[in-house]
Structure 1
């Protein structure tokens, strides 16, 4: 693992939020799972307009402690087949704080939301 890859993994594991460069910088919560960042958009979840149409996105990870920039990188964007990636979706669901329907969260996501995988270095 390269130094940058190690910094990305450590930063993504330690902080539950990141910044994406979209129409403007957008804050997003996420989960790290098996070498990639997973996040959900739409259907009552965070709105990340246009992300699912991109091939790549610029990501900034900041320190959970003081907000300092830890690492910036380009990541390949792909839409996740939620049934095929149930383990990643389950990890993401565990990171979802204050969901009003936590018992049925993954079913709602499958119906109403898009889960995306951001692969560093894309």
Structure 2
């Protein structure tokens, strides 16, 4: 594992939020699972307009402690088949704070939202 890859993994695991460069910088909550970042958008979840149509996105991870930039990188964007990636979706659901319907969260996502995987580009 390269130093950059290790920094990405460590930063993504330590902080539950990141910044994406979309129409403007967008803050998003996420989880790190199996070598990639997973996040959800749409429906009642965070608005990340146009992310699902991109092939790549610029990601910035910041320190949970002081907000300093830890690492920036490009990531490949892929829409996740939520049924096929149930373990990743379950990991993401565990990170969802303050959901009104936590026991039915993944069912709502399957109906109303898009789960995305951001895989850091080869560094």
Is this a same-fold pair by TM over 0.5? yes
Displacement of 1:71 in angstroms is 0.1
Give the structure 1 partner of residue 66 of structure 2.
66
**1:41-68 deviation per Cα after TM superposition (whole angstroms, max 9, x unaligned):** 0010000000000000000000000000
Provide structure 1 residue ranges, at least 5 long, that are not aligned to the other structure: none
SS at match of 1:105: helix
TM-score (ref. length: structure 1): 0.99
- Is the aligned partner of 1:112 residue 2:112? yes
Provide structure 2 residue ranges, at least 5 long, that are not aligned to the other structure: none
Give the structure 1 partner of residue 76 of structure 2.
76
How far, CA to CA, are the matches of 2:10 and 2:52 in structure 1? 25
SS at match of 1:27: strand
How far, CA to CA, are the matches of 1:58 and 1:96 in structure 2? 23
How far, CA to CA, are the matches of 1:44 and 1:33 in structure 2? 23
Give the structure 2 partner of residue 99 of structure 1.
99
Displacement of 1:120 in angstroms is 0.2
Question: Number of matched residues?
Answer: 122
Displacement of 1:38 in angstroms is 0.1
Give the structure 1 partner of residue 49 of structure 2.
49
TM-score (ref. length: structure 2): 0.98
- Is the aligned partner of 1:38 residue 2:38? yes
SS at match of 1:39: strand
Q: CA RMSD in A?
A: 0.6
